[in-house]
Structure 1
């Protein structure tokens, strides 16, 4: 599967609600051969790695009113589901998310793993401990040199309003100055 095909699957399953989008994507992927599903999962992990940076974590913190490490992973999953253009713009400059999100939207995240769910369906594997081990083994066999998350880069105090305004001026204006319900 190419990177273009990866993004095409995401685009063709698009829904406004991230959970509905993830469910439709999983259903779409489940129709593919298991190796192609693993390839999709590999691209997914590569995109998650691209998003793994303090600057984007700061944006997630601001948008969601706080952001744990699990919350950041869910935020990055949501970001991948937004599609190639939004994803690439946000990875390059997280402040571009001010054009995508709104304070009244609530938390911006998705606890989805579409490739994993699709692989379980396609292979008729139960999503239990043995099933997760089978998925991990298949993943390692298909992509033995899968990268780990990179270093986060230089961090900063997300509760420092001045620093947040300096790094993310548009999101700060939207969330700190115009907050939800104001």
Structure 2
């Protein structure tokens, strides 16, 4: 399986299903019909894609959209970005600031505005978190799991197919990927990501505006 085949499978899984659970099951079924080498191919391309999304600037985008963040949540956010397909993912992987222009992210932002109806972001604190001034307790709607911008289970679709095909535990799948010279920047056991680039303070307004001007405008970050 080459990179085009990997993305074709990701995108077709979205076209052929209506829910995330169905999508995961669809991928597991298709992967189970493949030779072991192609299952490893898929996992290798997944890891390469996820690594492209693992940067400090992308972490800042995730932190801003969610209002806070964690290393494992960031990993699942990158998985969600991969689920959007090759064109969308590669656009934001090359330019995290472009994430706010994706229709899917715009939908998340609209849900956020609906969920926090009666709330207003008023400051960007030095600890990198938003402070919200509450005007009313009413909320118009609750987000569903289908809309949440994290997709953890999409990461695991190779596990059962690989175990069935080899009789081995999934640790050996990671070994097979590393044997190809690809190491994940999202260690699954430690939950400590290793993002690309130098770590920076998300509360540094000048740096935030310099790195992510469109995200900064959305967040109301000004000097």
TM-score (norm 2): 0.65
Q: Is 2:155 aligned against 1:110?
A: no
Aligned to 1:145: 181
The answer to whether structure 1 residue 158 and structure 2 residue 202 are counterparts is yes
2:13 corresponds in structure 1 to: 13
Pairing of 1:1-182 with structure 2 (within 5 A): 1-14=1-14, 18=20, 20-100=22-102, 101=105, 102-103=108-109, 104=111, 107-112=148-153, 113-120=156-163, 122-123=164-165, 125=167, 131-136=169-174, 138-139=176-177, 143-149=179-185, 152-174=196-218, 176-177=219-220
Give the greater-gyration-radius structure (CA): 2
Structure 1 runs not aligned, ≥5 long: 178-182
SS in 1 for 2:89: helix
Q: Distance in 2 between matches of 1:135 and 1:69?
A: 22
Check the 8 A contact 1:50/1:91 in 2, yes or no: yes
CA contact (8 A) 1:18 1:78 kept: no
Matched with 1:180 is none
Give, in angstroms, the shift of residue 24 of structure 1.
2.7
Q: Which has the higher strand share?
A: 2
Indicate if the aligned counterparts of 2:56 and 2:197 stay in contact, CA closer than 8 A: yes
Structure with the higher helix share, 1 or 2: 1
Alpha-carbon offset, residue 74 of structure 1: 0.9
Rate the CA distance shift 1:169–1:2 in 2: closer, same or farther, 3 A: same
Q: CA deviation at 1:2?
A: 0.7
Aligned-partner SS, 1:13: helix
Q: CA RMSD in A?
A: 2.7
**Cα gap change, 1:144 to 1:32, in 2 (>3 Å):** same
Q: Distance in 2 between matches of 1:20 and 1:159?
A: 39
- What is the alpha-carbon distance in structure 2 between the residues aligned to residue 145 and residue 74 of structure 1? 23
TM-score (norm 1): 0.77
CA contact (8 A) 1:37 1:119 kept: yes
Q: Which runs of 5+ in 2 are unaligned?
A: 113-142, 186-193
